């Protein structure tokens, strides 16, 4: 099989989709057949190393260096014609591509009101919808996203494959108290407890409500905790002024979350007292799975894929208002028995998500499409 991969997301800071590509490649090294060849198409130099790959993998920089979607539709489309199948792991595919293509769509978050600027529905949303309609198979990470794809993009069920994301073995409970102490000092400045959020500070992630809830919790209980936000503030969400108005300036810390290796996050999950995700919409949540795999109790909004992933293993907030979030965080921090239940259930639930299984099932879909045998093995 000659497999082409649109790997342009590997350039720059490697967040959700880039980590997805990394873990697939890492697992595929031991799964592909001797005659298989995988070509990774990129549009610019990579900032970080790739997993250790065999000689059956080729990195192919494609010029000219155009903007992302223009590069994809003009340059990638012309250079991938000799592939048996093209894998596009990031929502869109070259609309002029005439060969077989498997597309991954990780969420349909435009269904959430206010998730994007008004013009998004007339640009990216249209491109994603057309890409899903054109692809031979669309891979999604949750049944929630599958339903959104059927309802909002009108994609037939037979074209959709649900393949959840995984969690690396590095994400596990760490009993090393010295490491956890040094981790807290590194990111907080002192050895103090903290509540953790991991992810881009997107509009749909409900961060202003989280700040208000945390401030209410601090005022109500006097807890010594800080709130650590790990992820880029790419939409320039106001943090400084709201924190001052809420009286939590000294307790709020936000970092971009640039790590040389993704597994470095495991120490942060282990050093935290609580993971919180108040998001109004998620197609999947890799941080939630990683937090549970580390034994970290979680409070999450009972919305979309968060409910599906947690499956009773986190404290769910039906309506993620500031008051409801504050109440849930207080329970999760103060109730020892509840914390132990959440820890045990989370560890058990996280076992259902493994990158090797994600990679194996994805490779099966790609191979079947490449051979013209349809979507399902």
The pair of structure tokens assigned to 36 is: 């298989």
Which whole number is the average pLDDT over 139-159?
Answer: 96
Check if the beta carbon of residue 148 is closer than 8 Å to that of residue 114. Answer: no
pLDDT band at 121 (very low <50, low <70, confident <90, very high): low
Q: Do domains 2-166+355-370 and 177-350 have the same CATH topology?
A: yes
Q: What is the pLDDT of residue 13?
A: 76
Determine the Cα–Cα distance for residues 132 and 147; give it in Å rounded to an integer: 13
Residue 305 and residue 141 in contact, taking contact as beta carbons nearer than 8 Å: yes
Q: What pLDDT, on a 0 to 100 scale, did the predictor assign at position 191? A: 97
Q: CATH code for 2-166+355-370?
A: 3.40.50.2000
d(CA 254, CA 353): 28
**Is the predicted pLDDT of residue 262 greater than 90, yes or no?**
no
- pTM, two decimals, is 0.92
Question: Cα angle vertex 283, ends 280, 288, to 5°?
Answer: 80
pLDDT 10s digits, 326-353: 999 999 999 999 999 999 999 999 999 9
CATH number of 177-350: 3.40.50.2000
**In the predicted model, is pLDDT for residue 239 greater than 90?**
yes
- Is the pLDDT score of 257 beyond 80? yes
Mean local confidence (pLDDT), 112-120: 65
**What pLDDT does residue 124 have?**
77
* Mean pLDDT score across all residues of the chain: 92
What gap in Å lies between CA 4 and CA 369, rounded to an integer?
13
375 pLDDT exceeds 90? no
- Those residues whose C-beta lies under 8 Å from the C-beta of residue 340, and which sit 6 or more positions away, are none
Average pLDDT, integer, range 352-358: 97
The share of the chain scoring above pLDDT 90, in percent, equals 79
Q: What ranges do the domains of the chain cover? A: 2-166+355-370, 177-350
Compare 152 and 66 and report the one with higher pLDDT. Answer: 152
pLDDT score at 263: 85
From CA 111, how far away is CA 303, in angstroms rounded?
12
């Amino acid at each position: 099989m000659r497999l082409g991969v649109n790997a342009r997301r590997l350039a720059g800071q490697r967040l959700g989709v880039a980590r997805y590509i990394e873990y697939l490649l890492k697992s595929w090294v031991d799964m592909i057949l001797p005659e298989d060849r995988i070509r990774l198409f990129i549009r610019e130099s990579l900032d970080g190393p790739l997993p250790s790959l065999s000689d059956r993998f080729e990195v192919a920089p494609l010029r000219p260096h155009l903007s992302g979607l223009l590069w994809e539709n003009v340059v990638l489309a012309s250079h991938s014609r000799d592939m048996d199948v093209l894998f596009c792991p990031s929502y869109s595919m070259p609309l002029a591509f005439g060969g077989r293509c498997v597309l991954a769509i990780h969420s349909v978050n435009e269904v959430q009101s206010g998730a994007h600027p008004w013009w998004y529905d007339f640009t990216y949303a249209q491109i994603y919808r057309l890409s899903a309609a054109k692809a031979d198979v669309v891979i999604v990470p949750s049944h929630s996203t599958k339903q959104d794809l059927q309802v909002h993009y009108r994609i037939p069920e037979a074209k959709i494959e649900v393949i959840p994301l995984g969690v690396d073995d590095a994400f596990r409970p760490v009993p090393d108290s010295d490491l956890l102490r040094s981790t807290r000092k590194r990111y907080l400045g002192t050895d103090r407890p903290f509540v953790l959020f991991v992810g881009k500070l997107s509009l749909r992630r409900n961060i202003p409500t989280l700040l208000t809830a945390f401030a209410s919790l601090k005022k109500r209980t006097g807890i010594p905790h800080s709130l650590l936000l790990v992820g880029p503030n790419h939409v320039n969400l106001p943090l400084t002024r709201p924190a001052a108005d809420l009286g939590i300036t000294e307790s709020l810390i936000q970092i971009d979350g640039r790590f040389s290796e993704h597994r470095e996050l495991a120490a942060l999950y282990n050093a935290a007292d609580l993971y919180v995700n108040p998001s109004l919409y998620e197609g999947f949540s890799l941080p939630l799975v990683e937090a549970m795999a580390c034994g970290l109790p979680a409070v999450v909004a009972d919305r979309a894929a968060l409910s599906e992933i947690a499956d009773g293993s986190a404290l769910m907030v039906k309506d993620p208002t500031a008051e409801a979030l504050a109440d849930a965080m207080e329970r999760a921090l103060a109730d020892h028995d509840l914390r132990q239940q959440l820890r045990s259930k989370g560890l058990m639930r996280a076992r259902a998500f493994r990158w090797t299984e994600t990679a194996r099932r994805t490779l099966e879909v790609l191979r079947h499409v490449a051979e013209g045998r349809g979507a399902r093995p």
